[in-house]
Structure 1
Amino acid sequence: MLVIDPIGLAPAFIALTQGLEVTQKRALALRSSVIAAAILIVTALLGNWFLAQLRIGLAAFQISGGILLFGVATRMIFGEHMRQESREAESAAREKIADLAAFPLAIPLIAGPGAITATLLLASRTGGDPSLLLALVLIIAAVALASALSFLLAGQLARVLGRTGNIVLARLLGIVLAAFATQFVVDGIKSAFRWE
């Protein structure tokens, strides 16, 4: 799964989890990886059939994923998520962790349009062979485990950077994320209209 970069996702995890306690970050790392793995495994097993039933093209995933990701990037650039964290009460922390785990960590950062598209393409190439589908599922599980480990070790990088470094990194990653989001939309439009 070359479209998922577990090590490259660590800085985004740092930026999105600023202000959370270590135990909350651990829970978030594990939960987001499990959610992403579940999404990709279900995609591998049922994705092509489901898309055919709904008549949805892969380009639609790229465009919608890009738009959603752009919203996350905007919040990272302007530090909105940091102000929100400081205002939230402890009783709302668990709900926030569940939200962050599902979006944007599991979708679209880990199981993004590229990963979903790659999974659909690989699943279609198995021709329904159970052993090949099992191999694909095991690869997805291994990538999810690598993502969880990367997230769990991200705290060490955060300590090295310090508070100012983390703030600067969050803003820079927000800009990079905005560019990725825009590229997802551009690729989706090209694919939808078959532009070269």
Structure 2
Amino acid sequence: MYDLYSFGLLAFTAFFTIINPLGTMPIFMSMTASLSKTRRKQTAKKATIVAFLTVIAFAFSGQILFNFFGISVNSFRVVGGIIFFMMGWDMLQARLGNFKHTDDEDQLDAYVEDISITPLAIPMICGPGAITNAIILMEEANDYQQKIVLVSVIALVLFITYLVLVGASKITEKLGSTGNKVMMRLMGLIVMVIAVEFFFSGLKPILLGIISNGS
């Protein structure tokens, strides 16, 4: 039982640190600033559900998929960095989410659906770190009890993430239109910096592997 408790604590600490709900919150606020409270809640719900399903899918089959397609986590980091950079550039130019400023329900639904999956669920919440962590911990789970604990911990961390994102709505309302635009540009700059770190943290091992193989 002690081993089960230790495994659960390890999994919770690792996933909470990697997913970092508080770090995701400002970006979520920027992207949903002009949406209604109901729409923001809907976006948070979809993003966390998609992230949960993605993490679980990779936890049970990630290593098989990686080996089958011959890809690595570093490739995920490179692609994630490119997605982050594009998103950060749009935020910096205050161009993110033009669909927000419309009364067309179909366009609003499309916008919510779009940002819920990318970039909020993937790669903001469920990024390369979370995917790698899920694969490693699932391989370390020695029995079904530990596997159940791992799935439960992932669900708990993402539920906490959902609560944090929903709570961000109150902060968004207090900031107002000008405050949200300023925050969007500041977060855009930060996201671009994160993108560069993501990109080069994935690219460096790939290049070193190519150089070592060439020599």
Same fold (TM over 0.5): yes
Match of 2:185 among 171, 175, 195: 171
Report how far residue 82 of structure 1 moved.
Answer: 4.6
Match of 2:54 among 17, 39, 46: 39
Q: Distance in 1 between matches of 2:106 and 2:58?
A: 34
Could you tell me which amino acid in structure 1 is paired with residue 47 of structure 2?
S
- Other-structure match for 2:139: 124
Q: 2:92 touches 2:184 (CA, 8 Å); kept in 1?
A: yes
**TM-score normalised by L of structure 2:** 0.84
- Other-structure match for 1:157: 171
Match of 1:25 among 40, 48, 54: 40
Report how far residue 14 of structure 1 moved.
Answer: 0.7
Residue identity over aligned pairs, in percent, reads 29
Indicate how the Cα distance of structure 1 residues 118 and 193 shifts in structure 2: closer, same or farther if over 3 A, else same: farther
Q: 1:48 touches 1:124 (CA, 8 Å); kept in 2?
A: no
Report how far residue 22 of structure 1 moved.
Answer: 1.2
Task: Output aligned runs, 1:2-13, within 5 Å.
Answer: 2-13=17-28
**TM-score normalised by L of structure 1:** 0.92
Deviations 1:78-134 (A, max 9, x none): 01125443257332111111111101110111001221122222223235x322222
Match of 1:76 among 91, 98, 119: 91
- Other-structure match for 1:109: 124
Superposition CA RMSD, Å: 1.6
Q: Distance in 2 between matches of 1:178 and 1:192?
A: 21
Please list every run of 5 or more consecutive structure 1 residues that lacks an aligned counterpart in the other structure: none
Q: Distance in 1 between matches of 2:146 and 2:101?
A: 47
Q: Distance in 1 between matches of 2:146 and 2:207?
A: 32
Q: 1:44 touches 1:136 (CA, 8 Å); kept in 2?
A: no
Q: 1:19 touches 1:82 (CA, 8 Å); kept in 2?
A: no
Aligned residues: 194
| Higher Cα Rg, which structure | 2
Structure 2 residue 191 is matched with structure 1 residue 184 = no
- Secondary structure class of the residue paired with 1:80: coil
Q: Distance in 2 between matches of 1:153 and 1:55?
A: 41
Q: 2:99 touches 2:107 (CA, 8 Å); kept in 1?
A: no
